[in-house]
Amino acid sequence: MHAHCRNSGDSKRIRLRSGLTALAAAILAVTGAGGAHADETAGGLESSTAQAPGWGGFDRPSVLEYVTEGPTGAATTATGLLLTPSGTPPPGGWPVIAWDHGTSGLGPQCGITTTKARSDTSYLHRLLDRGYAVVAPDYVGLNPGAVTTHPYLQSRTEATATVDLVRAARTADPDLSTRWAVVGVSQGGHAALNTGALASTYAPELDFRGTAALAPPANVEQAIALAGPYVPRAPVLDGFIDNVAAVLEGMRIAYPASDIESYYTPTGIAAMERLATSCVSNWPAQVQGLSLGSLLTKPLLTGDFTARLTRYLAVPTSGYRQPLLITQGEQDTTVPFPSTAVLLGQLSASGTRYQFRSYPTDHQGIVEASWPQLIPFLTGLFTTE
């Protein structure tokens, strides 16, 4: 999903927007910097590099390289940011917030460490000022030297990259607590939901406290699965072709030995390869003039593509053992309100308890709108035993 709710002039659109709903209506009516060694375990710290004070506007930033899962499940390395507050840590260490950022692109120059967190700086400073240490994963593939394209919206690697960074950060800085929570916006909201469902079982040695997902895309797989060569060019659909193509490229990465490429036209593969080296502001140019149908040789509903697609990017609707907060903008055309409403219904049906808050804002305003609700939510997570 494009955009992290950024303040800069970069293209901030996720453009899965109401186009996802429109797609259904129209049709129906790794990895990181390098390979990890076989004996290295997930969350292992490879290196911690302190950055000069003032880097990104922060006092004590460090860039960590650590072991995590790649898109095929094999061990690889990834990178992320570690920030700590000024002063003396409280008893038990600094509580940790993992910040999952929104869509930044697919190329190795597009990560949060490369851009010095410019789109997220103000939010990270606010968390630091409240006494939280912050870790922010690049996600797999979004760092210099990455040996794979970022597997966009791959549920598993978003989650493991987040949890394993918390593990690595505690090795890098013994002043960090075992207590932690995850906050994410847009693509990061998708990552946060996946993290929240996985955290306790994947890293039981940590004390995971809860999840906040702001404008999280959900049920994307159900809309994409309806695509095929019969989908024409149409203004309501053209705005999110790059997002769909980015997901399809991720499928190529995650299932390299499968027949995935047989679903893609040469035109589609060429577009995916252009996206693979681009940051989000350049995505529209890589698919200009194309229709969604021109990317595909056959309907995605054929064969087992949709089963793989679901496995690749579906958001869990159960498994959340700790408090869960979801927020949504009522005027959001990037992650439409109806898609979040469906997610809430799925969570309720599974017996998952959650807090939900909507605001009269669009996608770009969701972080600011959510902040008055987010901070008390986080405070509550860390004041309970």
What is the chain's pLDDT, residue by residue, as a tens digit (385 residues)? 554 443 333 333 334 434 443 443 333 333 333 444 434 699 999 999 999 999 999 999 999 999 999 999 999 999 999 999 999 999 999 999 999 999 999 999 999 999 999 999 999 999 999 999 999 999 999 998 888 899 999 999 999 999 999 999 999 999 999 999 999 999 999 999 999 999 999 999 999 999 999 999 999 999 999 999 999 887 777 778 999 999 999 999 999 989 999 999 999 999 999 999 999 999 999 999 999 999 999 999 999 999 999 999 999 999 999 999 999 999 998 899 999 999 999 999 999 999 999 999 999 999 999 999 999 999 999 997 6
Q: According to the model, what pLDDT value does residue 354 have?
A: 98
Give the sheet arrangement for strand 62-69, strand by strand: 45-50, 62-69, 75-83, 133-137, 94-100, 176-185, 207-214, 324-329, 355-359
Q: What distance in Å separates the CA atoms of residue 275 and residue 271, rounded to the nearest whole number?
A: 6
> Of 339, 333, 342, 322, nearest to 366 (Cα)?
333
CA separation for the pair 41, 30 (Å, rounded)? 15
| H/E segment holding residue 213 | strand 207-214
Report residue 74 as tokens. 């094999």
Sign of the dihedral through C-alpha 278, 281, 283, 285: negative
The secondary structure element, H or E, covering residue 180 is strand 176-185
pLDDT at 65: 97
- Cα gap 83→81, rounded to integer Å: 7
The residues, any chain, with a CB within 8 Å of residue 174's CB and separated by 6 or more, are 93
pLDDT for the residue numbered 15? 41
45-219+314-383 architecture in CATH? 3-Layer(aba) Sandwich (3.40)
Evaluate if pTM is beyond 0.75.
yes
- In this structure, are residues 128 and 120 in contact, taking their beta carbons and an 8 Å threshold? no
What pLDDT was estimated at residue 173? 98
pLDDT at 341: 95
Per the CB < 8 A criterion, the answer to whether 98 and 162 are in contact is: yes
Question: In which residue are the tokens 């791959």 written?
Answer: 154
Angle, helices 17-28/337-349, rounded to nearest 10 degrees: 80
pLDDT score for 235: 77
> Which pLDDT value is given to residue 147?
84
Angle formed at CA 334 by CA 366 and CA 323, multiple of 5 degrees: 45
Do the beta carbons of residue 48 and residue 172 sit within 8 Å?
yes
| Distance of alpha carbon 263 from alpha carbon 299, whole angstroms | 8
What's the token pair of residue 202?
A: 């994947």
Distances from the Cα of 312 to the Cαs of 217, 315, 347, in angstroms?
14, 9, 19
Distance separating alpha carbons of residues 160 and 122, to the nearest angstrom: 25
- Spell out the domain ranges in the chain: 17-29+221-311, 45-219+314-383
Measured at the alpha carbon of residue 155, what is the angle toward residues 64 and 360, in degrees to the nearest 5? 95
Q: What pLDDT is recorded for position 1? A: 58
Name the amino acid, one letter, at 17.
R
